[in-house]
Amino acid sequence: MSEYQEWTAERVENLRRATRGFIRETVIPQELPPGEHLDDALRARLQRQAREAGVFAPQVAREFGGLGLPIEHWPQIFQEAGYSPLGAVALNCMAPDEGNMHLLQEIASPAQRERFLGPLGRGEMRSCFGMTEPHPGAGSDPSSLRTTAVRVDGGWRIDGEKRFSSGALGAGVAIVMARTETDGEPGATMFLVDMDAPGVRIDDVLHTIDRAIIGGHPHVRFDGVVVAPDRVLGAVGEGFRYAQVRLGPARLTHCMRWLGLARRALDIALDRAAKRELFGSRLNELGLAQGLIADAVIDIETSAAIVERTARLLADDPRAGTALSSVAKVHCSEAIHRVVDRAIQLVGGDGVSEQLPLAGYLNEVRPFRIYDGSSETQRWAIARRASRNRAREIAAGEPERDLLRREGAR
């Protein structure tokens, strides 16, 4: 029996309960005061405690130090982890490592998995992903990629600059997307680059409002970095396709983690609303407050539903699941932001102070509407995909053309 067949509903529920207890009893008491940054010492301690609790690296294959949980069961566990900003770090399912580990599991050679996935899965090393570049390089449009890799004696020479390389400070390896040519045809290729290789330099660190990703969001320069042929990840020229392999699940796991934090924000607001009295009634008995609470619940539940559906689709049909992940990403990133914002509104002045963690939560979830493709970019892709799909349906058969005639006759 494979590790995927062993995951019964009962076993998944037991893991969810164990994760829930671990986050509340072990992780939350270690949360940082406002203004303090997560460091590798705290990360190592939390991950050791997660191993002891039996909840470490749920999404990683067993042979590389994880639990081997299939993707359709990730939503329950990742949401529990996301209830604390430190939860995903503790479980080793935080970006960018989680997305990089997924990509390595799917694309890397056995030797590459042993060299990189093993240490990442066991929490012995961190990683970063290099695709975003300074303007006019690749951002939301990967076809603008300007970093190049050319064949040289001994392998490939990489030259270029990456921006917003999340997690780069202290990372051991970067997955770098570079423009290459195959038989005269331009394309892109992914490379595994040691961060201490000659020619790799970390420059400006962007000071962003979010703090949950250890290693910051710095610029990384690659000046004549030479890598061996065995550092090509997958096949030459297939980088854009592999990016979709990574981005579909990565978008969705962001949704899962921040949805857990949205649940935490609502719980904080509900606890306050149950105790605070205004105009002779408890806050949770007042219609305006009830409207905020109800809308928050609606946003959470609709987000959870689309996340679960997308996760199942990614397991059964990765291509279709990747397409739906764009929809999930837009919906969840905006819904989660609304939930946290409403929670702040419900608790009043304390919500924008350091008396409660809600303002910090808002800082964490706001960038999600930009990271991994902005809401506007995702909407553009969603609309184009919908138009193409409808055109194919019409071209495929007479019933669709009949529908158009009927609609036009009304």
* Interatomic CA distance for residues 55 and 39, integer angstroms: 21
* Interatomic CA distance for residues 32 and 85, integer angstroms: 9
pLDDT of the residue at 263:
98
Is 321 inside any structural domain?
Answer: yes
Is 401 inside any structural domain?
Answer: no
146 token code pair: 């300007």
CATH code of the domain covering residue 68: 1.10.540.10
Are 366 and 249 part of one and the same domain? yes
CATH code of the domain covering residue 183: 2.40.110.10
Count CA atoms within 13 Å of residue 185 on its CB side.
Answer: 7
* Interatomic CA distance for residues 398 and 7, integer angstroms: 45
Per-residue pLDDT of the chain (410 residues; tens, 9 = 90+): 344 458 999 999 999 999 999 999 999 999 999 878 889 999 999 999 999 999 999 999 999 999 999 999 999 999 999 999 999 999 999 999 999 999 999 999 999 999 999 999 999 999 999 999 998 877 667 778 999 999 999 999 999 999 999 999 999 999 999 999 877 778 999 999 999 999 999 988 888 999 889 999 999 999 999 999 999 999 999 999 999 999 899 999 999 999 999 999 999 999 999 999 888 899 999 999 999 999 999 999 999 999 999 999 999 999 999 999 999 999 999 999 999 999 999 999 999 999 999 999 999 999 999 998 899 999 999 999 999 999 999 888 756 555 555 555 55
Are 249 and 372 part of one and the same domain? yes
Is 1 inside any structural domain?
Answer: no
* Interatomic CA distance for residues 293 and 285, integer angstroms: 11
Largest CA distance in the chain: 80
List the one residue out of 205, 221, 217, 218 whose CA is nearest residue 160.
221
Determine the residue type at 98: E
Are 272 and 382 part of one and the same domain? yes
List the one residue out of 263, 276, 200 whose CA is nearest residue 231.
200
For residue 168, give the 3-state DSSP assignment.
Answer: coil
Whole-prediction pTM: 0.92
| Buried-exposed string 55-76: b where 16+ CB fall within 10 A, e elsewhere | bbbbbbbeebbbbbbbbbbbbb
What residue spans of 33-181 are helical by DSSP H?
40-53, 74-81, 87-91, 97-107, 110-112, 118-121
99: which residues sit within 8 A by CB, 6+ positions away? 129, 246, 247, 249, 250, 253
**3-state SS track over 137-151:** CCCCCHHHCCCEEEE
Is 292 inside any structural domain?
Answer: yes
* Interatomic CA distance for residues 92 and 14, integer angstroms: 19
The number of distinct structural domains making up the chain is 3
pLDDT of the residue at 1:
36
Domain range for residue 146?
127-237
45 token code pair: 């301690």
pLDDT of the residue at 410:
54
Are 247 and 385 part of one and the same domain? yes
pLDDT of the residue at 402:
57
Q: H or E segment at 198?
A: none
CATH code of the domain covering residue 267: 1.20.140.10
- Interhelix angle 318-347/239-275, nearest 10 degrees: 30
